[in-house]
Amino acid sequence: MIEAIVHGLHGLLAGFLHMSLPNVLMIGGGLLLLYLGIKKGFEPLLFVPIGFGAVLVNIPLGGLMEEGGILRTFYDAGVMTEIFPLLIFVGIGAMTDFGPLLENPKLLLLGAAGQFGIFLTLLLALALGFSKLDAVSIGIIGACDGPTAIYVSSQYAPHLLGAVSVAAYSYMSLVPIIQPPIMKFLTTHEERTIKMGVVRSSVSRTTKILFPILTTIIAGLIAPMGVPLIGMIMLGNLMRECGAVSRLTKASENEIANVVTLLLGITIGATMEGHAFLKPQTLVVFGLGFVAICLDTVAGVAFGKLMKVFTRGRINPLIGAAGISAYPMAARVAQIEGQKYNRKNYLLMHAMGANTGGQIGSVMAAAVMLSVLKGMGNI
């Protein structure tokens, strides 16, 4: 009987006995994400489930990510099949108003410039010795778009999924800190004070309905590998604009997006198991992700300056920084920075146009990159 009691007690101590330093460190990492999400308000909808997922998976013998484990089941069913990021895209489309962009279509080009970071970072990652597909997954952090980063890395570098997604969401939440110094450094005082005209809501409903349909067809024909990405975001937007399926629109932007965000977050967190995550490679991924966001901002502002020249001073280059996918944070940063130098300057709607352009731009950049990779025979 004593032997049975000893065995029983051993069972209760097994968790402690199997605890290793990487697990302890990653539980600390998970708690840090929880702190950032709860206390600091950094992307709480994602950091809370990701942080908790990281804590869960680092408790030894829990078996959550082993075959048949609950988080492994969610991961296999939702992340590896790409269902989760694509459902998030439907929600993003349903929440996004492309009106400011349709009002001023040339702002979409700022959304293209904001993707330069993806390709330059990819080159840097290759130079640092990462394999081609790993470099593609790291470069995609520069899309500043969590679901796109997850979509690409889950397909082509699943071993980097945790690092890539946490880096993407971390830097998205740090946009208000990362961008302003770069914006200030690259623009003159005169440029920052440029006032842009008032945006009038003068886009017809037919245009708003046809835009997502035709964009899906055209973008799909140009980059067929990106049809799932562009198709889902545009489906969500079509539902929003047509007004005929308000129940589906509301479900997409609320219930579906919320459930999927929870499951996606916790499964991403579950990829952060100490022994697999704590590698020098992870730090390099984080470093390159930071470079990617900085390069996006540099390219966006530089393109904004170019547009200022071509429009004879009617574009404030600050809105170029909003040409990334971090919506609506990047637009707010442009507005705040603009008002610092000219209190009567209202850049928000223009920046929103560039920001929604950045959303389309990031998806399009990923789609083009995947199609080019397929064309080159790499995937």
DSSP 111-180: HHHTTHHHHHHHHHHHHTT--HHHHHHHHGGGG--HHHHHHHHHHH-GGGHHHHHHHHHHHHHTHHHHHH
CA torsion, ordered 350, 325, 111, 356, to nearest 10 deg: -40
d(CA 138, CA 130): 9
* C-beta separation of 233 from 242 below 8 A: no
Q: Using the rule CB under 8 A, which residue among 54, 57, 102, 315 binds another protein?
A: 102
Q: Using the rule CB under 8 A, which residue among 54, 101, 161, 348 binds another protein?
A: 101
Candidate segments 46-54, 70-78, 202-210, 330-338, binder of another protein by CB under 8 A: 202-210
Instruction: Note whether 283 binds another protein by CB under 8 A.
Output: no
- Name the residue nearer to another protein (CB basis): 32 or 123: 123
* C-beta separation of 167 from 286 below 8 A: yes
d(CA 143, CA 218): 21
Which token pair is 191? 């440029």
Question: How far apart are CB 172 and another protein at their closest, in Å?
Answer: 20
Please list every residue from 307 through 366 that binds another protein, using CB under 8 A.
Answer: 357, 360-361, 364-365
Residue owning tokens 């809370």: 48
Binding track, positions 136-165, relative to another protein; x by CB under 8 A: x-----------------------------
- Name the residue nearer to another protein (CB basis): 119 or 346: 119
Instruction: Note whether 233 binds another protein by CB under 8 A.
Output: no
- Name the residue nearer to another protein (CB basis): 59 or 199: 199
User: Computed over its alpha carbons, how large is the radius of gyration of the chain?
Assistant: 22
DSSP state at residue 378: -
Q: Using the rule CB under 8 A, which residue among 105, 181, 197, 243 binds another protein?
A: 105
Residue 351 amino acid letter = A
Instruction: Note whether 222 binds another protein by CB under 8 A.
Output: yes
Give the distance from CA 366 to its chain's centroid. Answer: 12
- Name the residue nearer to another protein (CB basis): 128 or 251: 128
Instruction: Note whether 232 binds another protein by CB under 8 A.
Output: no
* C-beta separation of 212 from 234 below 8 A: yes
Candidate segments 61-69, 85-93, 174-182, 207-215, binder of another protein by CB under 8 A: 207-215
Q: Using the rule CB under 8 A, which residue among 219, 256, 260, 298 binds another protein?
A: 219
Which residues are CB-contacts of 78 (< 8 A; sequence separation ≥ 6)? 84, 260, 263, 264, 267
- Name the residue nearer to another protein (CB basis): 326 or 365: 365
Nearest to 139 by CA among 110, 167, 101: 167
Element (H, E) at 163: helix 161-173
Instruction: Note whether 218 binds another protein by CB under 8 A.
Output: yes
Instruction: Note whether 291 binds another protein by CB under 8 A.
Output: no
Instruction: Note whether 369 binds another protein by CB under 8 A.
Output: yes
Which residues are CB-contacts of 206 (< 8 A; sequence separation ≥ 6)? none
Instruction: Note whether 203 binds another protein by CB under 8 A.
Output: yes
Candidate segments 9-17, 29-37, 127-135, 181-189, binder of another protein by CB under 8 A: 127-135
Binding residues for another protein, per CB under 8 A? 101-102, 105-106, 108-109, 111-112, 115-116, 118-120, 122-123, 126-127, 132, 135-136, 202-207, 210-211, 214-215, 218-219, 222-223, 357, 360-361, 364-365, 368-369, 371-373, 376, 378
